[in-house]
Amino acid sequence: MKVIVLGTNHAGTVAVRTLKRLNPNWEIVTYDKSDVISFLGCGIALWVKGDCKDPKGLFYASSELLAEEGIIVKAQHEWINIDKTKKEVTIKNLQTGEEFIDKYDKLIVSTGTWPVIPPILGIDLPGVQICKNYAHAQSIHDANLNPKIKNITVVGAGYIGVELAEAFTAYGKKVTLIDVSDRIMPNYFDEKLTKLMEDRMVRDGVSMALNQKVVEFKGKDKVDVVVTDKGEIKTDYVVFSVGVKPQTEALKGKVDLDNHGAIITNDYCQTSDKDIYAIGDCSTVFNVATKKTAPIQLATTAVRTGIVAAINISSNNTLKAPGFTGANGISVFGFNMAAAGISETYAKSVGIEVESIEFTDNDRPEFMEKYKQVWIKLIWEKKSRRIVGAQVASENNHTEVMYMFALAIQKEMVIDEIPLIDIFFLPHFNKPYNFITLAGLEVLGLNFFKK
């Protein structure tokens, strides 16, 4: 049996290692157009800020490591065509220009995503930098260390933009954050929680240019002005990060794609062709909260799909994926936030009728010398009462409660069960009725601690 994997980042790396572990005698080949593999893009801001001193730590595998495990790794090789009838992939060696054909029994597509680059005038000026791979990270890291670069503009207030805003601020840069939305991270959190983070960002010197659209970048030898529909912002450097799109253009007509270009897969990570599987950010998964299939472009989802596809290829589809919740988190500006499932804002935008509770409490008993506030929001479907979303924010780190809520959403737990979850108590960590239990009691009208 021969399996070819196209793309060797989060999902692809896990897939090839799982395949080889389960099938030592199989031929496992992986191609990647980059000169490096398995780069942890989630750590870019940590390196830029200086929390990660050695960028080598952002590579969780290497060609040498995979080769030691018996996996054939071909870096700087790009696939340019798939003939699913002949079960062949046409590959181009990017160093020599040579093209050749490789045959497979099973194929895994793990091509990931690429930043969206709209046709904005001046977007190709030097100093306008996208953020995705190691080369991009090097440019951004060097810019932060450059004393001549004093004003940095970040376009896009998603996770990457917010994390980089903190990294630049930590080095004394004057940072402006631009987004077409009227608040940060709108895809993950509702307004009350994002406002908590925005207040801290402003406190630390970030200029917020929200509800603004970039219409032009100006400059001669390099960018020096960002023009929005509401004015001009002087800048020395720009990071442009407004979203990503699946790298699937060459797959049109080969397998089924959704309206956004993501590869449609079933519960086994199998595409419309039974011998082709798709994993990671370029593919769809079943979202338990929405009960619909869509991309969930997170590293955690990617690695899990890598495992699912590898096991199913090895076992003729015996492992059905349990569904995904999009659990995620962020820690910046001295504040920690996490979410799972969908926000109330998103639910309303797609016509899912939900109810919710926003609850605030201290994380430890007030007789302790130190305690902090915690903000939690729970969202449930009105008709079934199943939990479809949860969000938490705090200065102390309570993001790990999202592990529990991700499982609760996967298992379709209802909101009425929350007060009876067997959560341990110790004053060092929480209260006898902690913020999770009390939120559940509040929903049922049983919060007898409420004043």
> Collapsing DSSP states into helix, strand and coil, what is residue 271?
coil
Q: Is 276 exposed, middle or buried (0-12, 13-18, 19+ CB in 10 A)?
A: buried
**Percent share of the chain, pLDDT over 70:** 100
pLDDT given for residue 448 in this prediction? 75
Spell out where 25-155 has E strands.
27-32, 72-75, 77-83, 88-93, 99-103, 106-109, 113-115, 128-130, 151-155
Task: Please determine, looking at this structure, whether the domain spanning 2-114+244-315 carries the CATH number 3.50.50.60.
Answer: yes
Q: Do 334 and 296 meet the contact criterion of CB atoms below 8 Å apart?
A: no
CA distance 14 to 305: 9
How far, in whole angstroms, is CA 246 from its chain's centroid? Answer: 13
pLDDT given for residue 60 in this prediction? 86
User: Going by C-beta distance under 8 Å and a sequence separation of 6 or more, which residues neighbour residue 169?
Assistant: 175, 204, 205, 206
How many other β-carbons are positioned within 10 Å of the β-carbon of residue 11? 33
CA distance 141 to 393: 28
CATH superfamily name and code, 337-443: FAD/NAD-linked reductase, C-terminal dimerisation domain (3.30.390.30)
Q: Do 22 and 310 meet the contact criterion of CB atoms below 8 Å apart?
A: yes
Domain ranges within the chain, ordered by starting residue: 2-114+244-315, 117-240, 337-443
CA torsion sign, 437 to 440 to 441 to 447? positive
**The Cα angle at residue 58 between residues 55 and 60, in degrees rounded to 5:** 135
Convert the pLDDT of each residue in 179-219 to its tens digit.
999 999 999 999 999 999 999 999 999 999 999 999 999 99
Give the residue carrying structure tokens 């790298």.
247
Residue 132 pLDDT level (bands cut at 50, 70, 90): very high
Q: Which of 244, 242, 277, 243 is nearest to 263 (CA)?
A: 277
Q: Do 341 and 409 meet the contact criterion of CB atoms below 8 Å apart?
A: yes
Burial readout 221-251 (b: 16 or more C-beta within 10 A, e: otherwise): eebbebbbeeeebebbbbbbbbebbbbbeeb
Q: pTM of the predicted model, to two decimals?
A: 0.94
Q: What is the mean pLDDT of residues 297-313?
A: 97
pLDDT given for residue 377 in this prediction? 98
> Collapsing DSSP states into helix, strand and coil, what is residue 410?
helix
pLDDT given for residue 305 in this prediction? 98
Q: Are strands 72-75 and 27-32 parallel, antiparallel or unpaired?
A: parallel
Q: Is 26 exposed, middle or buried (0-12, 13-18, 19+ CB in 10 A)?
A: middle
pLDDT given for residue 193 in this prediction? 96
Convert the pLDDT of each residue in 25-63 to its tens digit.
999 999 999 988 999 999 999 999 999 999 999 998 999
**Most confident stretch, 16-30, 35-49, 420-434:** 16-30
Q: What is the mean pLDDT of residues 324-339?
A: 97
Domain 2-114+244-315 and domain 117-240 have a common topology: yes
CA distance 181 to 343: 15
pLDDT given for residue 422 in this prediction? 93
Q: Indicate the average pLDDT of the chain.
A: 96
Maximum alpha-carbon separation in the chain? 74
Q: Is 272 exposed, middle or buried (0-12, 13-18, 19+ CB in 10 A)?
A: middle
Spell out where 41-93 has E strands.
72-75, 77-83, 88-93
Q: What is the mean pLDDT of residues 282-291?
A: 97
Q: Catalytic site residue 42?
A: yes
Q: Which of 141, 136, 125 is nearest to 34 (CA)?
A: 136
CA distance 128 to 154: 10
Give the residue carrying structure tokens 């059905």.
320
Q: Domain 117-240: give its CATH code.
A: 3.50.50.60
Q: What is the mean pLDDT of residues 13-26?
A: 98
Residue 342 pLDDT level (bands cut at 50, 70, 90): very high
pLDDT given for residue 451 in this prediction? 60
Q: Catalytic site residue 398?
A: no
Q: What is the mean pLDDT of residues 236-252?
A: 96
CA distance 414 to 373: 26
Single out the catalytic residue among 10, 77, 141, 398. 10
